[in-house]
C-alpha cells in the first residue's frame, strides 16, 4: 500500500486537431490532498476524467489505486468518488431519494441502512425530505459530497467543488475533506481559489494542457523566482501608472490602498519601485510572494493551446 494512489505518465488527449492535455505526468500519495490548479480550459477536467476511467487517453499510461487506467476503468470507477463541477442530481427528488438512487447504482447491500448512515454522517438527516432543487448552494454541495462518499471510496476526485457557495460552507467543506484525509482517503481537487490551494498538501498547476509546476505551496512559490514589493500611501494610483511597463515590473495588483508589484528581476524591480515611491510620496517594502502572484505569472508565460 506504499504505492501512490495516482501515478500517471505522459497523459495526452486530443479532440480533433486540438491537444487539450499534453504529456501530463503526476503522482498523488495515498492519504494526500492534492490540488489541481489552472485557468479555465486548461485541461483539468479532461485529465481527471482520464484518471477515473471516463475518457481513454490518446497516449500515456498510469495506475489509479493499483488499477491500469487503460484496461481497468470499471474497477477504478467502483473505488472512486467523483464530484463534478455542476450539480448533477435530480432536483425533483428529495435528498434521501437521490441518495437511495445512487446507492442502487452502486448495488450497495443494506441500501436503506447505508442511506440513513450517510444522511447522519454528512449532517443531512434533518433535511432528508427536502427537494434537491430547493437547496442552497452549500447544501447541494453537501448532498453531492454525500453521494460521492456513501460507497466508501479510496479516492475522491473533486472538480471545482466549492464554486458558488459561501465562505462558511467552503470552510466547512474543507474541514470535512481534511477529516476524511486524516482517516486515509486520498483527494485530488481542482480549484481556482488560492486559499483552497493553500490547504492542500501538494499542488499541481496545469496551463493550456501542460503541467508546469508541482510541489508543496512553498516549493512552487520559491521555484517561481519572483520578487514582490508592497507600495502603500495616498498616491498609489499615481504610483501604479508610473510603474506600468517600467523596468523589472511584470505585475501590478491594487489591494485597497496598497499595490502588489511583482517581477522576476529583483534588483531592477527594487530600483524601479524605490524611484517611483520617492516620486509619489508612497512607501515601498519587500513582501512575500503569494500563490496568486505565481498563478498569474504561470498563466502569462504559457501558450494558449486553443489559439
Q: Is residue 247 part of a domain?
A: yes
Say how far apart CA 188 and CA 43 lie, in whole Å. 14
Q: Is residue 1 part of a domain?
A: no
pLDDT tens digits for range 100-121: 999 999 999 999 999 999 999 9
**Residue with grid cell 505569472, as numbered in its chain:** 297
Q: Is residue 106 part of a domain?
A: yes
Of 136-140, 146-150, 279-283, which gets the smallest average pLDDT? 136-140
- Tell whether 272 and 136 lie within a shared domain: no
Say how far apart CA 71 and CA 113 lie, in whole Å. 33
Q: Cell for 192?
A: 481556482
Last residue of a domain, one of 192, 221, 250: 221
Q: Is residue 307 part of a domain?
A: no
**How many independent structural domains does the chain possess?**
2
**Residue with grid cell 512553498, as numbered in its chain:** 218
Domain containing 247 equals: 227-288
Q: What phi and psi, each to the nearest 5 degrees, are found at residue 89? A: -110, 165
Burial class (CB in 10 A: 0-12, 13-18, 19+), 5: buried
pLDDT tens digits for range 84-96: 878 889 999 999 9
- What is the model's pTM? 0.88
**148 three-class SS:** helix
- Tell whether 88 and 211 lie within a shared domain: yes
Last residue of a domain, one of 178, 199, 221: 221
- Tell whether 206 and 261 lie within a shared domain: no
161: confidence class by pLDDT, cuts 50, 70, 90: confident
Q: Is residue 19 part of a domain?
A: yes
Say how far apart CA 181 and CA 78 lie, in whole Å. 19
Please, which residues bridge with residue 300 across strands?
Answer: none
Q: Is residue 306 part of a domain?
A: no
- Tell whether 206 and 245 lie within a shared domain: no
- Tell whether 70 and 164 lie within a shared domain: yes
Amino acid at each position: 500500500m506504499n504505492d501512490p494512489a495516482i501515478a500517471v505518465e505522459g497523459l495526452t488527449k486530443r479532440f480533433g486537431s486540438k491537444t487539450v492535455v499534453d504529456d501530463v505526468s503526476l503522482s498523488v500519495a495515498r492519504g494526500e490532498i492534492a490540488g489541481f490548479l489552472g485557468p479555465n480550459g486548461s485541461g483539468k477536467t479532461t485529465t481527471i476524467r482520464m484518471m477515473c476511467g471516463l475518457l481513454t487517453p490518446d497516449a500515456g499510461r498510469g495506475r489509479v489505486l493499483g488499477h491500469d487506467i487503460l484496461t481497468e476503468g470499471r474497477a477504478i470507477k467502483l473505488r472512486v468518488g467523483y464530484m463534478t463541477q455542476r450539480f448533477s442530481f435530480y432536483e425533483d427528488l428529495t435528498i434521501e431519494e437521490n441518495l437511495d438512487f445512487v446507492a442502487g447504482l452502486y448495488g450497495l447491500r443494506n441500501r436503506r441502512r447505508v442511506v440513513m448512515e450517510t444522511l447522519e454522517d454528512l449532517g443531512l438527516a434533518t433535511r432528508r425530505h427536502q427537494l434537491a432543487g430547493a437547496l442552497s448552494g452549500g447544501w447541494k454541495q453537501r448532498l453531492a459530497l454525500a453521494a460521492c462518499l456513501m460507497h466508501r471510496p479510496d479516492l475522491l476526485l473533486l472538480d471545482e467543488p466549492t464554486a458558488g457557495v459561501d465562505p462558511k460552507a467552503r470552510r466547512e467543506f474543507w474541514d470535512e475533506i481534511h477529516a476524511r484525509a486524516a482517516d486515509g482517503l486520498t483527494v485530488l481537487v481542482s480549484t481556482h481559489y488560492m486559499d483552497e490551494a493553500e490547504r492542500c498538501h501538494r499542488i499541481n498547476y496545469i496551463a493550456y494542457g501542460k503541467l508546469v509546476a508541482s510541489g508543496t505551496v512553498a516549493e512552487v512559490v520559491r521555484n517561481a523566482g519572483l520578487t514582490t514589493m508592497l507600495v502603500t500611501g495616498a498616491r498609489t494610483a499615481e504610483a501604479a501608472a508610473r510603474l506600468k511597463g517600467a523596468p523589472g515590473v511584470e505585475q501590478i495588483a491594487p489591494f485597497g490602498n496598497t499595490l502588489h508589484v511583482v517581477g522576476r528581476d529583483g534588483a531592477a524591480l527594487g530600483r524601479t519601485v524605490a524611484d517611483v515611491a520617492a516620486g509619489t510620496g508612497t512607501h515601498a517594502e519587500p513582501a512575500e510572494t503569494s500563490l496568486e502572484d505565481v498563478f498569474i505569472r504561470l498563466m502569462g508565460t504559457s501558450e494558449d493551446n486553443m489559439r
